[in-house]
Amino acid sequence: MTNMRELGLPVRKWVPNWLALISIFIIILPITMLNGSYTGSMLEVSNTLGTNTEDITMGYYAASAGMAIAYPIVPKVLSAFSVKFLLLADLALQFILSWICARSQSADILIVASFAIGFLKGFLMLWFIRHAQKIFSPKNVRSEFYSYFYPLVYGSGQISMVLTAELAYHYNWKYMYYFMMLLLLLAILLVIVCYRHNRPLQKIPIEELHLREMFVIAIGLLMLMYVINYGKILDWMSSYKICAYIAIAPILIAFFVWMQYHSETPYVNLAPLYQPKAIVGYFYMMLIMFFSTSTTLLTNYMTSILKVDSTHSYVLYIWLLPGYILGAFICFWWFRWQRWRFRFFIAGGMACFAIFFGILYFGISPESTYEMLFFPIFLRGLGMLALIIAFALFAVEDLNPKFLLSNAFFLIIFRSVLAPIIATSFYSNTLYRLQQKYMHSLSETITMADPLAASKFSQSLTSGLAQGHEYSEATQLATTSLYTTLQQQSLLLALKEILGWLFIITLIIAIISRFIPFHKTIRVTFAKTGVIWYNKKQNKNDYQKNYSMQLGDFIICPQYDGCTYRYIIGRKS
């Protein structure tokens, strides 16, 4: 077992190694599950507070934005404060913010508190990453670490969503906040008992915190999120707020980029934006999250067509967890063996999304079953996590290690903030407009001259009269029943069209990804390690190597199609 004291964990002398190891995961468990707004209780919260579900969505993604804003300054704070002081202060503040969210009657307070919770989560997440990297991968192999870290984070978030739905259904939506407060109290107690102060507190110069830059990018990002999220319910350009934020948000973001470009000590270094691999990685991860957020369409199908309650709708997504585990397992061994080309892996991941959308497109109907959705949800989890790990590795492949925090800043903003909130808005708007289109189209043909419509109307009318209603009331009930049927049919047609397009798009992307040379042929000089001479007339495994090579040295050589093969003492990737 890894010796936690050797890894720099400041525990007391009497604390056994196993307890020190467990303490890290007990502390990080509530952090991975905590949020200011839980989508699992979206309907309950919006009904109680008299707000729109968009308010809960805004709060949920505001937490991710807060975490991105915090990341660049986390190392300065971690080096200035004692670990015990930082943990206690952070956990205590999150406890207070959770209590505020539970007692709040305002959606605006929920959103602000969610942003603050996300900001505080950033400090503990990076603290956890520093230790977990040595626990999960003692040799500091990034692919091995990601194969443990990402399923832990995404799996905990998924469990919190299911737990929120269960607590909101059986008790009250506030109970999720109380449950998280108990977990935070447990973590605080563990820190007080097991940890010690490892350094005196130091002052951080105020200019090193870059408060102006943080304020500018936070306001610009939240305004942009507001436009994307509330555009539909505020009727886009009919709202003066939307018009104002559309003008102000780009100016603030451009001003932030300008400040970082001209600063000698920038808050966020723009170097990752100059790396082609990082840009490709951000783009693909935005696509992945765009496709993953399509489960909002599935929720509409279950609640409106299958008549499944909100609890069972979110419990269905527990089937993502086996997909996460299998995806992480595949990534672990794929990148350890490195026997096949990277583009095969990407094509396979995108194929999982194509199969997911294909099964839904051909399978959803009023006669479908709840159980039919288990396998496609599993495939979505498999494809999502495998591709996220792959492109997280790809984005930093040629990046200087000192820019990793800047990469994390851009990665979280693109992957966890902009992509899902854009996808949520797109699916919501598209589904609404297509449903109205098909509703209008179907209504034109519904008359008493239509035998099917007349039969449906007559059955409902007869049933109403048999129940003792007056003729006018029975007629109204029959009309309402027919209208409900039309709504279901229009929703089903709208879902079919969206899922059909998504199936075609993901299939095309999977095919194209199979032929994209993600790793171009490059020349590398190896100092004191060795050189490979490669003859294209020979077999690709027929090469000469210098005997000064050590186990683990990477050698890159060209292949016929312009891709790159990496050799670890003769093994290709």
Task: Give the pLDDT of residue 546.
Answer: 35
Phi-psi region of 235 (alpha: psi -120 to 50; beta: other; left: phi over 0): left
Cα distance between residue 531 and residue 566, in whole Å: 13
Q: With CA atoms as reference, report the closest residue to 39 among 168, 130, 152, 230.
A: 168
Contact predicate 495/301, CB 8 Å: yes
Cα distance between residue 376 and residue 380, in whole Å: 6
Cα distance between residue 289 and residue 294, in whole Å: 9
pLDDT of residue 526 exceeding 90: no
Task: Give the pLDDT of residue 562.
Answer: 34
- The 10s digit of each residue's pLDDT in 192-222 is 999 988 878 888 888 888 899 999 999 999 9
More confident residue, 171 or 218: 218
Cα distance between residue 192 and residue 449, in whole Å: 77
* pLDDT over 90, % of the chain: 44
Task: Give the pLDDT of residue 338.
Answer: 73
> What average pLDDT does the chain have?
83
Partners of 195 in beta bridges:
11
List Cα–Cα distances, 179 to 171, 185, 300, in angstroms: 12, 10, 28
Partners of 544 in beta bridges:
533
DSSP states of 343-407: HHHHHHHHHHHHHHHHHHHHH-STT--SGGGHHHHHHHHHHHHHHHHHHHHHHTTTS-GGGHHHH
pLDDT of residue 527 exceeding 50: no
pTM: 0.84
Task: Give the pLDDT of residue 5.
Answer: 65
Position of tokens 């890159």? 556
Task: Give the pLDDT of residue 507.
Answer: 96
Compute the radius of gyration of the chain from its Cα atoms.
27
User: Collapsing DSSP states into helix, strand and coil, what is residue 198?
Assistant: coil
Task: Give the pLDDT of residue 200.
Answer: 80
* pLDDT over 70, % of the chain: 84
Name the amino acid, one letter, at 320.
L
The C-alpha angle 138, 141, 142, rounded to 5 degrees, equals 125
- The 10s digit of each residue's pLDDT in 369-404 is 888 999 999 999 999 999 999 999 999 888 888 899
- The 10s digit of each residue's pLDDT in 13-48 is 888 888 888 999 999 999 998 888 877 666 667 666
